[in-house]
Structure 1
Amino acid sequence: MDAFLAAVRLVFDPYVLWVITASAAFGMFVGAMPGLTATMATALLVPVTFFMEPVPALGAIVAATAMAIFAGDIPAALLRIPGTPASAAYTDESYAMSKKGQLDLNLGVNLVFSVMGGLIGVAILILCAPALAEVAINFSSFEYFWLALLGLTCAVFMTTDMPLKGVTSLLLGLAINCIGIDPAAGYPRFTFGGVELLQGISFIPAMIGMFALSELLRGMVSIDARGAMIAQQIGNIFTGVFDVFKRYWFNFLRGSTIGVLIGALPGAGADIAAWISFAVSKRFSKQPEKFGTGHVEGIVDATSANNSAVGAAWIPALVFGIPGDSITAIVIGVLYMKGMNPGPTVFLQNPQFIYAVFIIFILANLLMLPLGWAAIKGGKQLLRVPRNILLPVILIFCVVGSYAMTNSAYGIIIMLVMGLIGWLMEQHGFPIAPAILGLVLGEMLEQNFMTSMIKADGAFIMFFERPIAAALGVTTLLIWSAMLWRSVKGKPTSLSGVAPVP
């Protein structure tokens, strides 16, 4: 209790509250800009934290991170351009919903369920950090291989209306991910003698290209100079949100749970949590045919998952000093810089700082409601800007974001090439989302497969010897078997996408 009261005094200092608010506004801005990720927002704050005490330094990072993950939903809904990778999973669904005239409901659901999902993640972080971290620490390369493979299976669930094209798109993403250095042999692959390609295809510029640039190309060939959504009036974004919660409260709980479980795994993070949650939502929905037409159900699942994963990612970071994602990798550096060595001892040596982190997480998620509302009101003014002015401005942000990820023109070239590929894919009916999923999980899949094969000395049976790995492996194989069985029976999920004629 003494440590908790000390944490309250530390957090509710006027200076600390000012730092949290300013960092939250900064995170909201960065997250809403296409190409500027939550990781970038965190990294940009690190030099500023050099001059701060531990509590305001941690407060700045927590607040900026929480805001940036939500803010990525705003350009996804307005322009079909995810502000952060965590929003990529449901960008198409969100944009389709906005085009149906449900922009206010779309943004309101994103905001409210982001806040609630974030609070669920914080609650689990507070109550179950040691227990969840103990489970996460038991994951080896075998478990991560099956987890990545299970995540890739989501591509089939996301494209049940055209599974063959979905799998083709997924394989394209995995193939692009193979460019660079072989993680096992250290041998260059598909580099064609180019030095830049040795580092592989950077995911952020590729995502910006396939989502943002392809959308810009589509907008440039559009006759309508102001866009289809300009006519929508700015209304109350909270209208109808409670009805959505009454109908999809179970989806919210399921998405938040998936987000916590995935976020607690080292190296997973909010991006993977959103993909898996969205796929699970479509798989078990009573109306799967509505997905892709602007259905709010999948958005509820995914936006709850990626925000709950933010808090859960701190579990392995605080308890074991193992980063849960790229953001907490930066956080661990800040903790060491402030003399707070992450690990089990931090709960004994600096309990007031741990409680302060918990309180700041709660404040940041509550602060997301008014700041998110203001960001949405400001962002919706973009729809009033003529498209011939808006598109070049967005292109500038895309170029800046792509350059910042590689600090060279190489990132811009990736964006341009992947943007052209994305545009051609959509022109011929191939979905982009599975290709992005392949880029997200491809490296994780390959590295853990090669590591596991080396450990097993080529004996594939060892992939099933550990209990958690066996459970994940059997689940994945059962899903594949079910999909093959349904395709043989001629149901809508057959590989051709069309039931055979009797």
Structure 2
Amino acid sequence: MMDALALAAGLVFNAETLTVIFLASAFGLFVGAMPGLTATMAAALLVPLTFYMDPVPAIAAIISCTAMAITAGDIPGALLRIPGTPASAAYVEDAYGLTRKGRAGFAIGISICAATFGGLFGFATLLVAAPFLARFALNFSSFEYFWLSILGLSCAVVVSHGGVAKGMLSLLLGLFIAQIGLDPLMGQPRFTFGIAELSGGISFIPAMIGMFALAEILRNGREGPSSVPQVEVANPFAGVGAALSRYRLNLFRGAAVGSIIGALPGIGGDLGAWITYSLAKRTSKEPEKFGTGHPEGLVEAGASNNAALSSSWIPAMVFGIPGDAVTAIAVGVLFMKGMQPGPQLLTINPQNFYAVLLVFVLANLLLIPFGYLAARLARNLFKVPRSYLNAAILLFCVVGSYSINNTLFGVGIMLGLGVIAYFLQSRDFAIAPIILGIVLGPLVEQSFTTSMTIARGDLWGFFERPIAAALGIVTLLIWLGLAAGAILIKKPPSDTLSSR
């Protein structure tokens, strides 16, 4: 192992690789901080450049760009209420709430430091427990994936503002949008209305851009420039140490849960952020403060986000199974460069595996200086007239939506769902559950239909496996708790009944 680490250090700590990491991090910072542009798009744009790089610098470019872009996606969420990723949507209300209280720098600082800790925790997990967690992940069948995805959807309803009923309706709308396209079993079109572009379904990226960015532009236009908080972005690290110390249990728990969930193929960090934010709210002594600018959920979900990003490379590196869209791109780069992912990577070329781990460390450590620079530059954002800022955001929204399939159809989806989200927000409906429903809807449907086929229609099959049974019981207990809470709230006091 020590010989492999020494060889890996030589592959990473050289002028070419360090320059690539630095430039890719700067590019990821720019893309992540721009509303409407995503980390997945940033990684995809770097792929043509990797053709001309050696294997380790090529994969280092993808890792450092992605880590920086996902963390930088919290900046527009905090300053403009426009999350950069579906995971950021879980805690965007708290981040933006801190900005409205004049603590924009504090919100960004917590996101940066929690993400750095989570990323390094995920690295440690990847170093120590990669083979074990990969084997554990392979034990997950369609039954476990079904309950895990349902648990994530339930958490979205629990933490959404506007009440459980409105959160459930928002979630059902997202699940309905996820049904648009071809039936995964029979290949029959559903809800396409003869439109060929709808056969491929609706991508969550233009949906997320429209329902958050465009809806926010419309809302600000209705409320006027006085609704925009004119605050100073102070030192982003002031007071962050005390906050992380106070919520250290949330920090470690978020990183641990994120590392476990990120190791599951096809899940990624989005679900982990929602589950940890919900867990933070359910166990908090001040749950009523969530969604108003409270840092507790921001700490836990922020750590989970980057921890899941790191651990999502476990199935990619050890078994060649992508954990999310970004690692799918990275696996393609690994094959292209002859670094065959799989067990042989740990036995035949262990130096390449450890080189990737060292890149993780450097990329997460760079979050601190780059994040500080981004926060200090973000103060100029409030000096721009709101009409110009809205125009620039709308431009990035159009570019980001168009880049998904290089067609105007994505732009149309962004505009249509943005208008729908604007009207839903005006009626106090939560938007984040819609996005999570779109993201997890295909996984829920595929897992359910596959499980029903395996169990031959017997619903008891969802509880026959130990892990599936545990996840199912937890999910059902959450549902029972929500139902009991709704009944108790509607039940009139006994003294009122006696007076009648």
- TM-score range with shorter-chain normalisation? over 0.9
Please give the alpha-carbon distance, in whole angstroms, between the structure 2 residues aligned to 1:404 and 1:380. Answer: 29
Q: Report Cα offsets for 1:83-118 as digits up to 9, x if no partner.
A: 233312211221122111111111111111111111
Specify the alignment match of 1:404 in structure 2. 403
- The secondary structure found in structure 2 opposite 1:201 is coil
Residue 406 of structure 1 and its aligned partner are, at CA, apart by: 2.2
* One-letter code aligned to 1:467: P
Q: Structure 2: which 5+ runs fail to align?
A: 495-500
Specify the alignment match of 2:228 in structure 1. 228
- The secondary structure found in structure 1 opposite 2:87 is helix
Specify the alignment match of 1:147 in structure 2. 148
Residue 501 of structure 1 and its aligned partner are, at CA, apart by: 4.2
Please give the alpha-carbon distance, in whole angstroms, between the structure 1 residues aligned to 2:241 and 2:74. Answer: 19
Specify the alignment match of 2:254 in structure 1. 255
Q: Report Cα offsets for 1:9-46 as digits up to 9, x if no partner.
A: 11110111111100111111111112221111111111
Specify the alignment match of 1:17 in structure 2. 18
1:121–1:307 Cα contact (<8 Å) kept = yes
Residue 379 of structure 1 and its aligned partner are, at CA, apart by: 2.4
Please give the alpha-carbon distance, in whole angstroms, between the structure 2 residues aligned to 1:408 and 1:26. Answer: 24
Specify the alignment match of 2:157 in structure 1. 156
Instruction: Tell me, yes or no, if structure 1 residue 357 matches structure 2 residue 356.
Output: yes
Q: What are the residue-to-residue correspondences of 1:73-472 with 2, within 5 Å? A: 73-159=74-160, 162-224=163-225, 228-230=228-230, 232-472=231-471
Give the aligned CA root-mean-square deviation in angstroms.
1.4
Residue 342 of structure 1 and its aligned partner are, at CA, apart by: 0.8
Q: What are the residue-to-residue correspondences of 1:36-55 with 2, within 5 Å? A: 36-55=37-56
Specify the alignment match of 2:497 in structure 1. none
- The secondary structure found in structure 2 opposite 1:85 is coil
Instruction: Tell me, yes or no, if structure 1 residue 34 matches structure 2 residue 35.
Output: yes
CA distance 1:499–1:123, change in 2 (3 Å): farther
Residue 389 of structure 1 and its aligned partner are, at CA, apart by: 0.8
Specify the alignment match of 1:500 in structure 2. 492
1:72–1:86 Cα contact (<8 Å) kept = no
1:36–1:84 Cα contact (<8 Å) kept = no
- The secondary structure found in structure 2 opposite 1:186 is coil
Please give the alpha-carbon distance, in whole angstroms, between the structure 1 residues aligned to 2:493 and 2:388. Answer: 51
Q: Report Cα offsets for 1:240-273 as digits up to 9, x if no partner.
A: 1011012100000111111101100000111111
* One-letter code aligned to 2:43: T
2:320–2:341 Cα contact (<8 Å) kept = yes
CA distance 1:410–1:450, change in 2 (3 Å): same
Specify the alignment match of 1:495 in structure 2. none
TM-score under structure 1 length normalisation: 0.96
* One-letter code aligned to 1:2: D
1:278–1:301 Cα contact (<8 Å) kept = yes
Specify the alignment match of 2:498 in structure 1. none
- The secondary structure found in structure 2 opposite 1:211 is helix
2:234–2:376 Cα contact (<8 Å) kept = no
- The secondary structure found in structure 2 opposite 1:299 is helix
2:172–2:437 Cα contact (<8 Å) kept = yes
TM-score under structure 2 length normalisation: 0.96
Residue 223 of structure 1 and its aligned partner are, at CA, apart by: 2.6
* One-letter code aligned to 2:492: P
Q: Which moved more, 1:315-324 or 1:454-463?
A: 454-463
Residue 380 of structure 1 and its aligned partner are, at CA, apart by: 2.6
Instruction: Tell me, yes or no, if structure 1 residue 473 matches structure 2 residue 472.
Output: yes
Residue 234 of structure 1 and its aligned partner are, at CA, apart by: 3.4
Please give the alpha-carbon distance, in whole angstroms, between the structure 2 residues aligned to 1:483 and 1:234. Answer: 39
Q: Report Cα offsets for 1:404-451 as digits up to 9, x if no partner.
A: 112111101110111011100010111111112211211110111111
Please give the alpha-carbon distance, in whole angstroms, between the structure 2 residues aligned to 1:375 and 1:228. Answer: 20
Q: Which moved more, 1:172-181 or 1:70-79?
A: 172-181
Please give the alpha-carbon distance, in whole angstroms, between the structure 2 residues aligned to 1:53 and 1:117. Answer: 29
- The secondary structure found in structure 1 opposite 2:273 is helix
Residue 292 of structure 1 and its aligned partner are, at CA, apart by: 1.5
Q: Structure 1: which 5+ runs fail to align?
A: 492-497
Please give the alpha-carbon distance, in whole angstroms, between the structure 2 residues aligned to 1:110 and 1:199. Answer: 34
Q: Report Cα offsets for 1:35-75 as digits up to 9, x if no partner.
A: 22111111111111111111111111111011011000000
Please give the alpha-carbon distance, in whole angstroms, between the structure 2 residues aligned to 1:160 and 1:16. Answer: 45
**How many residues align structurally?**
493
Q: Which moved more, 1:450-459 or 1:73-82?
A: 450-459
Please give the alpha-carbon distance, in whole angstroms, between the structure 2 residues aligned to 1:311 and 1:445. Answer: 24
Please give the alpha-carbon distance, in whole angstroms, between the structure 2 residues aligned to 1:82 and 1:234. Answer: 18
Please give the alpha-carbon distance, in whole angstroms, between the structure 1 residues aligned to 2:363 and 2:376. Answer: 19
- The secondary structure found in structure 2 opposite 1:406 is coil
Specify the alignment match of 2:8 in structure 1. 7
Please give the alpha-carbon distance, in whole angstroms, between the structure 1 residues aligned to 2:195 and 2:465. Answer: 41
Specify the alignment match of 1:494 in structure 2. none
* One-letter code aligned to 1:350: N
Specify the alignment match of 2:67 in structure 1. 66
Please give the alpha-carbon distance, in whole angstroms, between the structure 1 residues aligned to 2:225 and 2:4. Answer: 60
1:78–1:380 Cα contact (<8 Å) kept = no
2:104–2:232 Cα contact (<8 Å) kept = no
2:215–2:421 Cα contact (<8 Å) kept = yes
Please give the alpha-carbon distance, in whole angstroms, between the structure 2 residues aligned to 1:323 and 1:454. Answer: 25
